[in-house]
Structure 1
């Protein structure tokens, strides 16, 4: 079963090395193979780089885009794929995902996104809680998602490092999917969540306390960085003296400061090596966080959720800060009350980078539709939002926010061949992703069940994707056996009787 679960679809479109299978048995480098070359012919090509071709071609050589344009010549030995009537876009990028750290099935044993032991935890990393067998990842890929940023949750002021991953199937660990060269992010959160979670645990209990917590943490990091700077200067001074002290006698090198992983992360933020992603709703708080960044010498890469970004769109544009927002979520808590559907369009119209994110295992499956809703809301308000700009909300702008625009996010020569073939206009509610490619390899094909990979966890379960002998279903809490206090996980042969019922609560399995 493990071998079956790790099988990956063949390279696009011909049969060759499995997608994402970068290493051979025992970790040795795979044998040299002829790199696949293939041409998508006759598609509508939306580049997300300012150009939309109504009929054009995309040439892929190996893992990169080799040509985009009209009447691209078919190289000798290349495979031709007829894409007439289809639309090709870059792979979609979700800047805000918790897949793998809040995995399905959604019981407490899978809650690995919030380290709710103290409000400041920059030392933790989402990659250490990421479960690549989360079935939700397969659904995201089927919706055209090729890159995701996996963030810690928003319970803490400083939640920890985020990781950017490719949605390769068949992954066994984070190293199989971590995007090479992508900088880490840092998740921080202002507003209601930290004060709600910690208000009765010693604080913070107010927005004042939130900001004080941020300032204290970054001040410690500043002092930590200075202690290392002094240490390095002492080492350099000793080297210049040939290892001799002021008295001319041999001198032992100074002891380094004690290492602190959390302060290292915050120091890396202040050096610009780790990108800040800030969960923040209200306009006044976003302005306050920009001021905090100026005080401690760091920039915020993207405000997430940012339901009031439209109120300060000009300030975001001037600061070069993006806004990762929903299309139409609002009102589910006090700080979300002033959200509007025109948010992304107004941010974009002001010259700032708008991004549509999901923060949802469901929303990520139709991120193209979320962008379409936001685009049409802007147009109805009289704002000029071209299709290419709306596409950038889920491709190029998102890639910029993650620090990977030089690699992905647009269909341009030299970039990684992450792309989606749609059966129609990607902004139509009726369109679906037919094929998804990551670095030139087919990772999803709607027409071919063999190219719709699923995790080991789902093997043998009939969830509508080809299983035959079992099923996974959910029951409401009121129908659970008395000893259950959370979700009930049903396993059986598809019948309504004779099923084994297990209560899953806090990681324990108790048979009733």
Structure 2
């Protein structure tokens, strides 16, 4: 049992609590604002410091684009076909990636690790904690989503290979066909089961069926406004849950995103315009979405931006004009909502996982440092 005392507690879900106490027991938050501390509790003095929920990055390639490895050994893009729903990121995750330690040093306690965007359908992702040496023990949710991609990346990968896609309409056609095939698979499976007939499993369609059945969302890589609209159009055609990943030109269609109640994982924000579809990358994106009431979280797309710089990227958004409360929410509770795990993490509330970060100052101040990081109530990083 641990008690962090005298800290300013950034609950995220409510008001900040100055000089307050949070008690951790059995991996969970047992009490917020406690006045009595049980005998024998480990006391951590947070005087003059800030306590936040563990940070959450909803879109990374942590553990599959291993720090220090050459790009040809990255495990997040298969590229053998444009549609590969049978792939599972858990089979590529490497807990020895130094990025996990950097995540803990940066206060990041939970991430979604996803397949890349070379394929139109790249396989399923997983939500994991950033500590552990066995993937299966790090998992929070797996599969967490089905990665899809529209636009420049899959076109560049498959153009000239005598098959789809070579255009944006080709990307959309590949995605539609994968969803339609999954619908047919579900009907065939149901008919065979009803008649007690043998049914041949198809691992690709089993995974894609999870989307059709609404069990996991499509996580659609879409930078340009037209690709964002295509993702929404296709998802609505098949009545499946979805999120927009990157959403770089979202500020150009803000009214449409608000109308559709889109959930967007935006970023990386602090990067160059290294390809054509990033031409309109702007710090206006988070500010505009905030004003429009669009649900969003901020991501690093690690290793595009190092995972430890999630707080830096968010601080830069605040400098550009994003509200502080919205900014903190974007890397905690909003990210948890994006992933469907807000009942477990994302805010400092009784009963949630004991994932916390103790900071030397307010997290969004440039000179603030992570003093300690806790995951499931255990100290996983200490600066001292």
* TM > 0.5 fold call: yes
2:67 & 2:225 partners in 1: Cα distance? Answer: 34
1:283 & 1:108 partners in 2: Cα distance? Answer: 29
What's the CA shift for 1:206?
0.6
2:293 & 2:121 partners in 1: Cα distance? Answer: 29
3-state SS in 1 of match to 2:51 = strand
Q: 1:270-293: CA deviations, max 9, x gaps?
A: 111112211100112211211101
Q: What is the aligned length?
A: 381
> Which runs of no fewer than 5 residues in structure 2 stay unpaired?
none
1:131 & 1:38 partners in 2: Cα distance? Answer: 30
Over the aligned positions, Cα root-mean-square deviation in angstroms equals 1.6
| 1:23-42 matched pairs, under 5 angstroms | 37-42=1-6
Q: Which residue of 1 aligns with 2:248?
A: 307
Q: Tell me which structure has the larger Cα radius of gyration.
A: 1
Q: 1:132-185: CA deviations, max 9, x gaps?
A: 11112111111011011111111000011101110114x1x3112111x56521
| 8 Å CA contact 2:88, 2:143 repeated in 1 | no
Q: Which residue of 2 aligns with 1:267?
A: 209
Q: Is 1:155 paired with 2:145?
A: no
| 1:497-508 matched pairs, under 5 angstroms | none
User: Normalising by structure 1, what TM-score?
Assistant: 0.72
2:279 & 2:62 partners in 1: Cα distance? Answer: 26
| 8 Å CA contact 1:91, 1:144 repeated in 2 | yes
Range with bigger deviation, 344-353 or 423-432: 344-353
Q: 2:378 aligns with which of 438, 441, 463?
A: 441
> Which runs of no fewer than 5 residues in structure 1 stay unpaired?
1-36, 235-252, 380-384, 448-512
Q: Is 1:222 paired with 2:183?
A: yes
Q: 2:156 aligns with which of 166, 191, 196?
A: 196
| 8 Å CA contact 1:156, 1:194 repeated in 2 | yes
1:297 & 1:332 partners in 2: Cα distance? Answer: 34
Q: 1:343-402: CA deviations, max 9, x gaps?
A: 1121122112121100123431121121111123125xxxxx2x2221110011111111
Q: Which residue of 1 aligns with 2:70?
A: 107
| 1:231-250 matched pairs, under 5 angstroms | 231-234=192-195
| 1:426-437 matched pairs, under 5 angstroms | 426-437=363-374
What's the CA shift for 1:106?
1.7
| 8 Å CA contact 1:314, 1:351 repeated in 2 | no
| 8 Å CA contact 1:347, 1:354 repeated in 2 | yes
Q: Which residue of 1 aligns with 2:168?
A: 207
| 8 Å CA contact 1:346, 1:378 repeated in 2 | no
Q: 2:261 aligns with which of 302, 306, 320?
A: 320
Q: Is 1:419 paired with 2:356?
A: yes
1:268 & 1:39 partners in 2: Cα distance? Answer: 41
Pick closer, same or farther for the CA change 1:368–1:283 going to 2, 3 Å: same
Q: 1:442-496: CA deviations, max 9, x gaps?
A: 001110xxxxxxxxxxxxxxxxxxxxxxxxxxxxxxxxxxxxxxxxxxxxxxxxx
| 1:23-422 matched pairs, under 5 angstroms | 37-69=1-33, 72-107=35-70, 110-169=73-132, 171=133, 173-179=134-140, 181=141, 183-202=143-162, 203-234=164-195, 253-256=196-199, 258-300=200-242, 302-326=243-267, 327-361=269-303, 362-379=305-322, 385=323, 387-422=324-359
| 8 Å CA contact 2:244, 2:265 repeated in 1 | yes
Pick closer, same or farther for the CA change 1:183–1:320 going to 2, 3 Å: farther
| 8 Å CA contact 1:58, 1:72 repeated in 2 | no
Displacement over 3 Å in runs of 4+: none
1:127 & 1:313 partners in 2: Cα distance? Answer: 34
3-state SS in 1 of match to 2:125 = strand
1:109 & 1:213 partners in 2: Cα distance? Answer: 25
| 8 Å CA contact 2:360, 2:369 repeated in 1 | yes
3-state SS in 1 of match to 2:349 = coil
What's the CA shift for 1:109?
6.2
1:281 & 1:295 partners in 2: Cα distance? Answer: 21
2:27 & 2:149 partners in 1: Cα distance? Answer: 37
1:343 & 1:411 partners in 2: Cα distance? Answer: 27
2:227 & 2:30 partners in 1: Cα distance? Answer: 45
